[in-house]
Amino acid sequence: MTLMNAMIRLAIAVVLVTQLAACAALVIGGVAATGLAVHDRRSIGTIVDDNVLEVRVRDALYRHEQFNDEVRIKINAFNGWVLLAGEAVNEERVALAERAASGVPGVTRLFNELAPVERAGPGLSTSDRWLSTRVNGSLTRIRELPGFDATRVKVVSARGTIYLMGEVSHEEAEAVVARARTVRGVERVVTLFQLPEDQTS
């Protein structure tokens, strides 16, 4: 085999591998999106829009030099509703965050839950993540509602407060709140649910 033939074969192999990888990514992405949509009451398009919205809000905030390593801001979007939670040092930065986020196209409602305090240390951040995990786990044990799917509820934790987002019925909202309040470490529960009347308005 000549050197030229070997190089041609190598080039063909690289192209084939690249195409196969691209196809696999499309298939895996499609399966993941389909699986997510099975559980989520939002459409796949809305799920994607919310993910993009979170990125846009983050970009709008961190375009300002005031939002640096001194702040910790959690950004979550659901059907255009955006939650800001965490710490923003002082009232001025809390207000700036609200102005920046509210000006992002696609934000239909903004919940500014930022605390005007210094950024939490790694210990509290870990505690928040663990608290979210415990609450999510507790929601899977709701048995009184036939067909209830805990993955339809987005749980966000910040400084001991649990924020609940998602499209739910009144009965589901009551059951989820009651269950979340029983989890050790939860100091406060804030509901940002989209109830039937919100979904039709």
Q: How far apart are CA 13 and CA 175, in angstroms?
A: 56
The average pLDDT across 73-88 equals 97
Give the 3-state secondary structure of residue 195: coil
Asked if residue 73 and residue 7 are part of one domain, the reply reads no
> What share of the chain in percent tops pLDDT 70?
80
**75 pLDDT higher than 90:** yes
The CATH number covering residue 180 comes to 3.30.1340.30
Q: How far apart are CA 113 and CA 169, in angstroms?
A: 24
pLDDT in tens, 19-45: 444 444 444 444 444 455 557 889 999
Asked if residue 90 and residue 22 are part of one domain, the reply reads no
Q: Count of CB atoms within 10 A of residue 46's CB?
A: 18
* Helix locations, the chain, DSSP H: 3-39, 44-62, 91-102, 122-139, 170-180, 196-200
Asked if residue 49 and residue 139 are part of one domain, the reply reads yes
> Tell me, what's the pLDDT at 2?
58
> Tell me, what's the pLDDT at 21?
45
> What share of the chain in percent tops pLDDT 90?
69
Asked if residue 85 and residue 10 are part of one domain, the reply reads no
Domain that holds residue 113: 44-200
pLDDT in tens, 162-185: 999 999 999 999 999 999 999 999
Give the 3-state secondary structure of residue 96: helix
Asked if residue 72 and residue 97 are part of one domain, the reply reads yes
Determine if the pTM surpasses 0.75. yes
Residue of higher predicted confidence among 198 and 181:
181
Q: Which residues contact 115 (CB under 8 A, 6 or more apart)?
A: 86, 87, 88, 94, 158, 159
The CA-CA-CA angle for residues 142, 148, 151, to 5°, reads: 90
**What mean pLDDT is reported for the chain?**
86
Report the domain count for the chain: 2
Asked if residue 58 and residue 9 are part of one domain, the reply reads no
Asked if residue 57 and residue 25 are part of one domain, the reply reads no
Asked if residue 49 and residue 23 are part of one domain, the reply reads no
Nearest to 167 by CA among 155, 180, 154: 154
> Tell me, what's the pLDDT at 198?
84
Asked if residue 61 and residue 13 are part of one domain, the reply reads no
pLDDT in tens, 89-140: 999 999 999 999 999 999 999 999 999 999 888 888 899 999 999 999 999 9
